[in-house]
Amino acid sequence: MPRVIRYLLPLIATVPLLGFALFRTSSAVPTEVQRSQLHDFRVEVVSEGLAHPWGLAFLPDGRALVTERPGRLNLLDLKTGKRSRVEGLPEITARGQGGLLDVALHPKFADNGWVYLSYVAAGEGGFGTHVGRGRLKDGRLADFEVLFRATPFTDTGHHFGSRLVFDRDGKLFVSLGERNQRQRAQDLKDHNGSLIRLNDDGSIPADNPFVGRDDALPAIYSWGHRNIQGMALHPDTGRIWINEHGPRGGDEINLPEPGKNYGWPVITYGREYAGPSIGPTHKDGYEQPIYQWTPSIAPSGMEFYTGDAFPKWRGNVFVGALALTHLSRLTVQGEKIVGEERLLDDLDLRIRAVRQGPNGLLYLLVDSSEGQVLRLRPVK
């Protein structure tokens, strides 16, 4: 398929009037060696036949949890590829881009068993992104409780976010899209279009930037975001990094700071899907991205590599691409991106999530109606 068609199809699929039916099935994964600048590797299929897998978390016993957007949570044996269904999930609304999204483990999971989910559920006025947790016991989530609801709800099926990351202080960061209603990202009385910061029990940290203000919601950490679909913790600084979708161009990597406004839709490097510009790229009072992609790659999962399997990749950050169907390897110096290599761009895979797993191997989720869990293994 020509590159221009590969690029346009995912963009067309994001236009609200056309819905979200245009998903390609994943390509067969070749067995030959994949060449790259620093490490050659092979791609292994760990599991397949998943319906739009979205989130991945590794358990201490060598298994993994994998979410499927229609509302299923799987226990995956990484050695055999066998899966079993986890029961005890909350009511989930699978509509448009929404459904069961990310999964994360409590930093003290080995002691308390808490598994955190982000998902879409119905409520007054429509539906919205929720965060809840349950204790993983004997293949089910027990004692499930809802910790957070992104309000107000609406009927649109677009831009839910939503990644979950714990920082070194045990605070839970939740990324949210603006539900394709762009002005909501500039409303501090609206959770959507923001990065949220919570305590592990869902309560509001006392040092959140808008605590005590009548004109803002206290869970908001940063705002002016379009649709954050990748988030990772820097292994050295402990700082949160995010990536977010622009419209036609202007995908961004941002380093959110408390109380700062990241500009959407007042400033953007992107344009309307029909072509006209949306706004300027710079304006006083709004933060600049540290990196941006034009044309759009539709960035999703994000992971800093710290393992031993690919030693020359240490310190690089990996970003999955949904529109231009590749895995970006970004070279980082301090808080700057100084280089990019695009991997797997010949395989036509919509890469939804990137995670470093056991033994320092990289795992990918392929977003498709026949989705896969893939593993990258170095060629010795």
C-alpha span between 5 and 272 (Å, rounded): 18
Its sign, for the CA torsion 115, 116, 120, 124, is positive
C-alpha span between 100 and 289 (Å, rounded): 29
C-alpha span between 201 and 174 (Å, rounded): 13
Residue 154 gets which letter from DSSP? B
- Which of 52, 106, 158, 159 does the annotation list as catalytic? 159
Residue 347 gets which letter from DSSP? S
User: Between vectors from CA 228 to CA 132 and to CA 171, what angle results, nearest 5°?
Assistant: 45
**Cα atoms found within 13 Å of the Cα of residue 298, Cβ hemisphere only:** 22
Strand, coil or helix: what is 45? strand
Q: Does the annotation count 159 as an active-site position?
A: yes
Residues with Cβ within 8 Å of 174's Cβ and at least 6 positions away in sequence, in order, are 118, 129, 131, 148, 161, 162, 163, 164, 195, 196, 197, 198
Catalytic residue numbers, as ranges = 159
